[in-house]
Structure 1
């Protein structure tokens, strides 16, 4: 197998058609399948997680954080829509940064997304297990609270199976559970308003902190804690950026990914506003900020405690939707980095169903091990078993996400200058200003994570992961890269890299950067 030395001291190995035949994906999605995937990945954030921002900053602070994050996600989704249309291959964030900042930049961004999606999947498994165990305990007298790892194994196995069964099943399931989850939120909103349970005064029931200068009914903890609320406001949208990872499974990625992003973003803004205002206005800002299950508490306040177990089933629908969507994301993210040689190449193998089942299994194992380790640590914590585990892994997901966002916006800005003449079937209506706005807000959230002591264990864990992966790439991986579509696009200056039109080995035999065989 011939090797060709390329930029930044990396080497490419000619893989051949057989290599890519074992790593094929199947085109199964139209615009609504992509919409369902994006909404499914995010929707559980409306059921729980977002509300802790109110505890930091009050309802007013959380509302400001929500508006700031809407601006960031507009700039982000417009920008990644443009890049995904120009680079219609599975790499997504890794591909954008690879073209803009070279192999090391691509790995840094791709790894941030791996951390984000593997950790987010683990968070959803963690909370899904709590809900499921509550249901079986209440209705069947079957309690596994002392052995929650059994629930984790069951949930991972079920959703690995669904994701590995075929892309068509994944997209169809995503549409169904997204519609059901949206329906649940709309029903809650109607019930809150019709029943009279919603009270405007409850939005402001947190007493102003007398020790904080500038504290008010609107901002009971003052202005500064808005910074700490921003990461929690991300849960209204975190995961929508996974759409480019479905490029090689979309019938028309250059058209449908930007369109699906617009529709998904609009959907999530509406659902986010429903729970932000109505959920808080039903149980009060004070109670919402510390609730482990705010939507269920809202339903309980309207219909009473006797329906708690049934309502837990309702919450599980939203959690399962996001579990399906985020697992899809880490599978494709790891697949693309593996196919190019940044991760071990066996991770990108696909089976008869043409899904990256190996990456799905390995990502699940990593998430499961993280949950076990953190659960063991939490059992010696005064905060109680489970509390620390859930918090740490949630913080890991947020930090990985905001790092990936910042690097993608930097890539957008660079690519507008670096590749000014490449085909861009879709152009961001916000252009460079939108990317700058998203990058600045992402940097602010990054700082908020960095200075918040609650995030310190997550930051330490991520730094360790980066050191290990970068050492492995420096010593081994950088000498064995493959001319995958993502690498071809970068090396050809945007001339190659659309596998739908060119196949998967368009540059085989070419000298990178010359276009010559």
Structure 2
């Protein structure tokens, strides 16, 4: 009789879970999505941020309820499977793995662009290899490293906000809220900014490694989301006050340009280091989440069964982590950061639409269904408001996944 396979260990508390969520959210949005969102929304950037926050709140509440009920690795892949049926769970998992793999590549390339622009792709690959090695050593090591990264990034962002808002060059007339790009531009920007808020999914996908998940996850998700929203709002207001919507939309490095415009060019190298560190934090948390969803799908033979192995010593899905790391390393050599954001947002919005639909089945009371309904509608609207290329590419990838689902799978060995 074979011995039972190793399982993931429940070692993460509320603080660890919050930090992992923040590590994914803070950095991805501030350093990668703010510029493209401003270009889409114009003077509607702040309303777009508010729209993205409302949809993210609905998704977070639905995810928290589901994660407490199903504290397993895999997140919405598990929730959709249990509440809606195997196909919907698979579609959510496929959308997450593909979309977030693109996010990983985008974050790795962001590290390279800020750390060593002339060799961005080489730095990106090196970052993926290094962080995959950290994750291989156990989730607690990842949580400790993420804690340091979050502290550094928050310090840099606080410096940017203070410098911009206290400079004599801040013009609060630049915060004039309008719809210069129309409602469509605001919704497209909200879809791009949603890329920044999706980090709380890491908390749910790590459900099998959280202590007392019924208590920890519902507390950690809204706390992480709330902190991220405050940070984004402060940074967006500060940067807009010195650059304005047009200059922000044209900027490739908006925070660096903002401190330069505020008259403190000496802070630019600090901002560049902060951006690289922030992208590392996002990449670390993203690899964790994608590997756990890969583990869950492999357990159900929706991905190769070999990826379901758990390391007997480190208690991590080591083969899934190595496979994800290898794919991301290859993608990091070819992706475009801005294009990856739109593609990733489409996949993740589909993922959360399934999460909200799953949460809708938990309680028949009309009041309990308001949040999931708003979440589903919000995800659908933002997904199809994204750039046409992102929508078409995302839909095509989902169709490929749906066709793959129809391929007969091998039954698990008894």
TM-score range, shorter chain: over 0.9
1:403 aligned onto 2:350: yes
Alignment-derived partner of residue 455 in structure 1: 390
CA contact (8 A) 1:35 1:175 kept: no
Deviation, 1:241, is 2.2
Give, in whole Å, the separation in 2 of the partners of 1:254 and 1:197. Answer: 49
The structure having more radius of gyration, on CA atoms, is: 1
CA contact (8 A) 1:78 1:430 kept: no
Give, in whole Å, the separation in 1 of the partners of 2:142 and 2:34. Answer: 26
CA contact (8 A) 2:127 2:280 kept: no
1:160 aligned onto 2:132: yes
Deviation, 1:91, is 2.1
1:252 aligned onto 2:199: no
1:174 aligned onto 2:157: no
1:186 aligned onto 2:133: no
CA contact (8 A) 1:46 1:235 kept: no
Give, in whole Å, the separation in 2 of the partners of 1:396 and 1:224. Answer: 18
Give, in whole Å, the separation in 2 of the partners of 1:222 and 1:153. Answer: 39
CA contact (8 A) 1:38 1:240 kept: yes
120-129 or 304-313, which deviates more: 304-313
Deviations 1:15-54 (A, max 9, x none): x974x514x2122210000000001011011223123222
Give, in whole Å, the separation in 1 of the partners of 2:318 and 2:281. Answer: 19
1:107 to 90, 107, 115: 90
Q: Structure 2, unaligned stretches of length 5 or more?
A: none
1:332 aligned onto 2:292: yes
Q: TM-score, normalised by structure 2?
A: 0.93
Give, in whole Å, the separation in 1 of the partners of 2:328 and 2:272. Answer: 24
Alignment-derived partner of residue 376 in structure 2: 439
1:122 to 99, 105, 128: 105
Deviations 1:268-290 (A, max 9, x none): 11101111111111222111112
Deviation, 1:395, is 1.7
2:327 to 348, 366, 369: 366
Q: How does 1:6-45 map to 2 (within 5 A)?
A: 18=3, 21-22=5-6, 24-44=7-27, 45=29
Structure 1 residues 161 and 296: alpha-carbon distance in aligned structure 2, compared to 1, 3 A threshold: same
The structure 1 segments of at least 4 consecutive aligned residues displaced by more than 4 Å after TM superposition are none
CA contact (8 A) 1:34 1:243 kept: yes
Alignment-derived partner of residue 68 in structure 1: 51
Deviation, 1:430, is 6.9
Deviations 1:312-339 (A, max 9, x none): 1122121111111111111111111112
Q: TM-score, normalised by structure 1?
A: 0.75
Deviation, 1:151, is 1.7
Structure 1 residues 313 and 225: alpha-carbon distance in aligned structure 2, compared to 1, 3 A threshold: same
CA contact (8 A) 1:199 1:282 kept: yes
Give, in whole Å, the separation in 1 of the partners of 2:180 and 2:408. Answer: 53
Structure 1 residues 32 and 197: alpha-carbon distance in aligned structure 2, compared to 1, 3 A threshold: farther
CA contact (8 A) 2:110 2:276 kept: no
Aligned length: 412
CA contact (8 A) 1:177 1:317 kept: yes
Structure 1 residues 411 and 28: alpha-carbon distance in aligned structure 2, compared to 1, 3 A threshold: same
Structure 1 residues 227 and 472: alpha-carbon distance in aligned structure 2, compared to 1, 3 A threshold: closer
Deviation, 1:265, is 1.3
Give, in whole Å, the separation in 2 of the partners of 1:464 and 1:286. Answer: 33
CA contact (8 A) 1:56 1:225 kept: yes
CA contact (8 A) 1:203 1:281 kept: yes
Q: Structure 1, unaligned stretches of length 5 or more?
A: 1-15, 135-142, 205-216, 375-388, 421-428, 483-507, 509-517
1:236 aligned onto 2:206: no
Alignment-derived partner of residue 211 in structure 1: none
Structure 1 residues 311 and 475: alpha-carbon distance in aligned structure 2, compared to 1, 3 A threshold: closer
1:480 to 406, 411, 414: 411
Give, in whole Å, the separation in 2 of the partners of 1:190 and 1:199. Answer: 14
Deviations 1:236-284 (A, max 9, x none): 3122122111111111111011101121111011101111111111222
Deviation, 1:373, is 4.7
1:90 aligned onto 2:77: no
Alignment-derived partner of residue 267 in structure 1: 227
Give, in whole Å, the separation in 2 of the partners of 1:468 and 1:71. Answer: 31
